[in-house]
Amino acid sequence: MHVSLIDLADTTGVDLYHVEKQAQHVVSEDPGLMLIQGEIISQSYWDSVAEEINERLQECSQIALAELAAQLHFGSKLVASVLEPRLGTLVKGRLEGGQLYTPAYIARVSAMVRAASRGIAQNECVDSFFSQNSFISYDTLHKLEISQPI
């Protein structure tokens, strides 16, 4: 459920002041509802939004939180606070640094970082050995897991 207090006042013909007072009372009595920016929003609404975000995330691998907030017309902090309890359940992803990532994306990036680190460690070992000995054998290069020692 997602109801604008202004629309509710127009539809019912009740003054907005009274609609706002009653909305605050209703929301304070029901933990499944929240009053945000003049709208009553239910937890089930956020669940459906989270499911839509998850579908998009699985297609894109990563989504900026600011982009989601702009599309939903809410602040980034609110969107983050609504998504965090749904991470790992309705939203199969991880929120870090203002970005949502899929586990597959994180695994790919981690693998690239490990490969680059291993390459740097191998390069440093070869340079160090060569600078100390003025040569390096194919056997040493094989031990360092250099795939094409020539």
12-67 tens-digit pLDDT: 999 999 999 999 999 999 999 999 889 999 999 999 999 999 999 999 999 999 99
What confidence score (pLDDT) does residue 127 get? 78
Separation CA 20–CA 86 (nearest Å)? 29
What is the reported pLDDT for 128? 79
How much is the pLDDT for 12? 93
Please provide the DSSP assignment of 30-69 as one string.
-TTEEEETTEEEEHHHHHHHHHHHHHHHHHHSEEEHHHHH
pTM of the model: 0.68
Q: Which residues pair with 2 in a beta bridge?
A: 41
What are 74-131's pLDDT values in tens digits?
A: 899 999 999 999 999 999 999 999 999 998 887 787 788 887 777 778 777 777 777 8
Euclidean distance between CA atoms 133 and 56, whole angstroms: 56
